[in-house]
Amino acid sequence: MAQMTTASKEIAKSTRTLICLLQSLIDHRVLIELRNDHFVLGMLQSVDCYMNCESSSAKIWSLNDWIEDQCHDNNATIINLQCDRLPDTEWLDKHSKQMDYIFIKGNRIRFIHLPEEINIIDCIEKQLKFYRERNKNVMAIQRPFNWKDYRKKLKSEIPNQQQQQQDNDNNKSITISLTGDNKN
């Protein structure tokens, strides 16, 4: 059995889960909700098989800050929370922190809100097709070295080499006896 490299293990894990969907969203703007009630809105740069994400030009804000701000603005104790939409751009510019790059560990992610304009099935199919094409190219270029077959080949070559050596020795002795002048 051929050994799988780290990259091929990650690809295998990604193709068996919906992580391939997230990997197809690279270079899209996504909203990531963290387990500590913070939100990150940024351009997705990479996603690995453990759902670790890298984002660029991200804005980070806290849900608690947004709730407090809504309560103070409306002078009400009960507000209607609509977490499925982004806060106003004015509020975001005022209360969020801007980061050029952020790494988010996969186990810290609660939700990833997908952009509305994407077709989920098309994204998954596109990513799986990319993996299949990549796998074909890699297998055509580089095959893993199989030590078991190599040892079998060496074992079969050693007796053949010994047989050839004996044949050569016999041929030499025959040629010597045929060409030599033996007067007995």
Domain count, the chain: 2
- Confidence category of residue 153, pLDDT binned at 50, 70, 90: confident
Q: pLDDT tens digits for 1-33? A: 344 445 777 777 877 888 989 999 999 999 999
Range of the domain at 167: 146-179
**Together in a domain, 72 and 126:** yes
Classify the C-alpha dihedral 33-38-39-40 as positive or negative. Answer: negative
**Together in a domain, 116 and 159:** no
**Together in a domain, 106 and 154:** no
Strand (E) or helix (H) holding 29:
strand 29-34
Q: Higher pLDDT residue, 125 or 79?
A: 125
54 class by beta-carbon count within 10 Å (0-12 exposed, 13-18 middle, 19+ buried) = middle
Measured CA to CA, the distance from residue 12 to residue 105 in angstroms comes to 20
Q: Tell me: pLDDT of 48 over 80.
A: yes
**Together in a domain, 23 and 99:** yes
Residues 127 and 24 sit within 8 Å (Cβ to Cβ) = yes
**Together in a domain, 116 and 35:** yes
- Confidence category of residue 155, pLDDT binned at 50, 70, 90: confident
Q: Which of helix, strand or coil describes residue 7? A: helix
Number of Cα atoms under 13 Å in the Cβ half of residue 120: 6
Measured CA to CA, the distance from residue 163 to residue 153 in angstroms comes to 16
Q: The pTM is what?
A: 0.62
Measured CA to CA, the distance from residue 39 to residue 59 in angstroms comes to 8
- % of the chain with per-residue pLDDT over 90: 33
**Residue 122 belongs to a domain with what CATH number?**
2.30.30.100
Q: Tell me: pLDDT of 143 over 60.
A: no
Q: Is residue 125 part of a domain?
A: yes
Q: pLDDT tens digits for 126-142? A: 988 888 887 766 554 44
**Together in a domain, 30 and 70:** yes
- Confidence category of residue 85, pLDDT binned at 50, 70, 90: low
